[in-house]
Amino acid sequence: MKPIMKPIKNRTDIHLIIIYLLTLTVFSGCGVEYKFNRAKNLEKDGRYEESIKIYKEIADRYPLNVHVPESLYCAGRIYQQKLKNYTQSQDLFSELLNRFPAADKWKELAVLGIFNSPNYFPLFDENLWVEGDSQSYGKNMRVERNCKKISGQKYLISNKYYAGEKIVTTVSRYYTKKDYKLHEFNSADDKESTILLDFPFYKGKTWTTLRDGQKTRFTIVDSSVSVKVHAGKFDNCLKIREENLSFPSAYKYKYYAPELGYILTTVASVKEPAERRHSELLSSKVIPE
Structural domain spans, the chain: 11-115, 128-285
Indicate the DSSP class of residue 121.
S
pLDDT in tens, 59-113: 999 999 999 999 999 999 999 999 999 999 999 999 999 999 998 899 999 999 9
- Please give the DSSP secondary-structure letter assigned to residue 139: S
Determine contact, residues 230/241, Cβ cutoff 8 Å.
Answer: no
Q: Which fold has domain 11-115?
A: 1.25.40
Strand runs (DSSP E) across 179-270, as ranges?
Answer: 181-185, 194-198, 206-211, 214-229, 232-244, 250-257, 261-269
Q: Give the pLDDT band (50/70/90) at residue 14.
A: low
Spatial contact of 252 and 268, defined as CB atoms under 8 Å apart: yes
Taking CA 197 as the corner, what is the angle to CA 183 and CA 93, rounded to the nearest 5 degrees?
A: 95
6 three-state secondary structure = coil
If one compares 235 and 21, the residue with the highest pLDDT of the two is: 235
pTM of the model: 0.86
* Closest C-alpha among 31, 124, 113, 27 to residue 72: 113
Per-residue pLDDT, averaged over 267-289, amounts to 94
The CATH code of the domain at 128-285 is 2.40.360.20
